[in-house]
Structure 1
Amino acid sequence: MTLSLDRNTDAVDYPFNRPDDLELAREYGEIRASSGLARVRLPFGEIGWLATRYDDVRTVLADPRFSRAVAADHDEPRMREGRQNSGILSMDPPDHTRLRTLVARAFTPRRIENLRPAAAAICADLVADMRAQEGPVDLVDRFALPLPVRVICELLGVPQRDQPLFRRWSDAALSTTSLSAAEFYASREEFRDYMRGLLAAKRAEPADDLICALIDARDGDAGTGTDRLSELELIDLCNGILVAGHETTASQIPNFILFLLAHEGRWHELHDHPELVAGAVEELMRLVPLGIGAGQARYALDDVELSGVRIRAGEPVLVSIASANRDPEAFDDPERYDPTRPRAGRGNAGHIGFGHGAHHCLGAALARVELQEALRALTGAFPDLTVEAVDWKSQMVVRGPRGLTVSF
């Protein structure tokens, strides 16, 4: 039976989550337990649907009847005035496939796994630096931020001297209300200008890094016209990898620490049983909501039914991955943290913390390497880690500490 929810009913204000904790707002569970969908109003753009159930979220993320690209033709629901309407995350196949294939040819599992020793060595260096400090230290400044920045810049081939620039550009790319549209676009163009210069330098002096691999794949592409990657697409692709490749991991490292320390015995468990680290990362990806709210909207190209509710063609749908990852129809005892949880089978669906479908996170393997090595190094070195103070980010798409003062 198809439900008929009143589209004229006042939408609820969104997002629900607070920026200064890691809880999943109760509204998600309430919506999930009722119709599964709700009409929501974001700070900017038109009213949209919010999907909260696991099966519905996977459908919206993977079904070709839902489009990211057509959002450019609408006043899409969003959290900031400026719009991110370029880059791989704003595309549908075949344009998306073109870029995705290019990155996949350079961003290989072997290349990522070969970074594990370097990531472990960076972790060891950062731990030694923390030990050398007198008194409490800021774990974000001393560990969580430099680790992914150094790894992603090493992978891409970004000069070490330029690495401090990315904090400012990344903050601008992920800000919500802290920047006007003009400031947002100005920062984006500044970032593009930097990458344009770096690409020129790489073409003049090639090296064995991801940017050069992307240049080789793009410049050597036999395709022409619309089949060939434009220079701006290459620039935005490299910038997107830089932002996504460090900001999310830099946020999740302290988030994971706070979650584990808040659950008695879980930090010491990883110290005593480091073999549980890989499973812990998967479970933490499922349970710790990184975003302040849902991600980018998809637009229905045809009438589509979700949980018995008819979504009309042309209507936007946002998805809550965090809510889907706690759906009791997909996970047994979904609120419980269990690093030994099976990853398949009835009642143990695979988490979608890295997304699903065509836009599944390209950097998932890299994030796993970094998060695993970070937890292994920190729990091994600091079994009695204690949080002294937390300075939460604000006006950002992602949640997490901007500063995390710890003692050990």
Structure 2
Amino acid sequence: MRVLPNERALPRESDGAPLPDSTSELPPIIRRAEVVAFALVALLLITVVAVLYAAKAFFLPVVTAFVVGTMLSPAAGLLERHRIPRAVSAVLIVGAVGAGVAFIVGLISSPLMEWSTRLPELGSLLRDKLHVFDRPLALWQQLQSMVGGSDAFSTAPFQMPKFDWVQPAVEFLSPTFTEFLLFFATLVLFIASWKDLRRALIMTFADHASRLRTLRILNEIEGHLGGYLLTVTMINLGVGAATGIICAVTGMPNPAGLGALAATLNFFPIIGPVAMFVILTVVGVIAFSTLGAGLIAPLAFVGLTFLEGHFVTPAIIGRRLELNALAVFIALAFWTWLWGPMGGFLSSPLLIVALILKDHLMPDDSPQLPQD
């Protein structure tokens, strides 16, 4: 066979010979199944959040009853060991808790009702007390005019905000009678039937390992939530008593009510102490003739909350279960946005439950990084 001069001889590969491996690194490929799975999980979370938000009137009292009932289950078990039937124990525990809540609400509501009838008078009195800030405001207006800022606020006198927000705030903070009834009925039935619910949940799984893991999860959730409730309640009662003593020593009006309010608000992390500081500041400014005398109790309360938040609570609760401050803040913001003040109360217990489930269902078996 004759080969033409202008033809190139191409190398021939033997049939079936493997191609040489490429030395270049290929980028990671995101598979379509992973994208679909991620999208489905995201849609599921959005749907759950939307349902929890839309059906707040049902889910909030039920979830609160489940969480509080899990916290109070050790007390029911203690009474049951003393040969008191669990149904009777549930009624006694819920009655005692309701009586304590009613007592605290009575201490808080009495001065609150008295002050609510004097809101216009107290508003004008507070406006007169705030004349001490006239000079700083005038200096600010001069500085604003020097830098060429707008003088829209220079001619407007300082006015107190209107009190149109009081009724919507009370409606937002106060649950309805139906929600109260649903909460207490669910709480009593949950505590009374908790042992049967535990057994049914454990026996749902067929193999021994899953049953044992479920039992460990339930025991740890019950132990941690019960210890959390007892510890936080004792700490908050101590904060309330100390606040009442501070208010009595500094001459604040109604120290018992302010102490009960401090104990109640301290159940809400971060938000509660800040709100209590604002309340003490307003009450002190109105009750005393000078601004310095009115700020003694709020500043003392700041010192008290600093000691409680940085030394007492971490030393007691930190040994039981470590909670990241960022996680606590994000959980508080999310559940408060979703369910209001009661969501803020449930944020820490729900975070504890989530951490326990994460530790048992997704154990961290990967090698740890060396410490710095």
TM-score (norm 1): 0.24
Q: Which structure's residues are more often strand, by fraction?
A: 1
TM-score (norm 2): 0.26
